[in-house]
């Protein structure tokens, strides 16, 4: 007859599982905000590209009509869906001599971009805020 031996069953103890859960929670607490910030910057970059495209179309419209288009529909284009879901883009092109325009992208409240910067681009190529372009 064998002695009094302890046979350990295979598996994890509650302490080991709690340590793993704590490590996963710490990693998630670091990763989720970083990912959210990355996505916000990515959507801002898409919006900046859309503003540059609209500005290019405005220049072409100026050559054709000797004035800037007052809205996006007049340019014969649309705002990409991935931009319009997060930003409202407007054009301010007053009837002035010389002609001017300002394109503004305003974050939509209640979306992931809420609280982000309002981006502007004008006919001289000035971009504001300059720190995020």
Question: What are the Cα distances from residue 83, in Å, to 79, 105, 115?
Answer: 7, 9, 15
User: Which pLDDT score is estimated for 96?
Assistant: 84
51-81 per-position pLDDT tens digit? 999 999 999 999 999 999 999 999 999 999 9
Considering only CA atoms, which of 32, 56, 43, 63 is closest in space to residue 108?
43
83-100 per-position pLDDT tens digit? 999 999 999 999 888 899
> Domain map of the chain by residue range?
14-128
Long-range CB contacts (within 8 A, 24+) of 73-81: 77/53, 79/50, 80/46, 80/50
pTM confidence score: 0.80
Is the four-CA dihedral 52, 53, 56, 58 of positive or negative sign?
A: negative
């Amino acid at each position: 007859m064998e002695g009094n031996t302890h046979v350990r069953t295979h598996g994890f103890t509650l302490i080991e599982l709690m340590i793993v859960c704590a490590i996963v929670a710490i990693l998630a607490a670091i990763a989720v905000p970083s990912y959210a910030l990355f996505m916000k910057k990515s959507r801002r970059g898409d919006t900046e590209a859309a503003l540059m495209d609209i500005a290019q179309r405005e220049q072409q419209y100026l050559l054709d009509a000797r004035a800037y288009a007052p809205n996006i529909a007049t340019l014969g284009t649309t705002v990409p869906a991935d931009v319009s879901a997060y930003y409202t883009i407007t054009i301010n092109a007053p009837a002035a001599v010389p002609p001017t325009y300002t394109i503004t992208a305003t974050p939509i409240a209640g979306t992931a971009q809420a609280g982000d910067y309002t981006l502007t681009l004008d006919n001289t190529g000035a971009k504001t805020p300059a720190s995020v372009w």
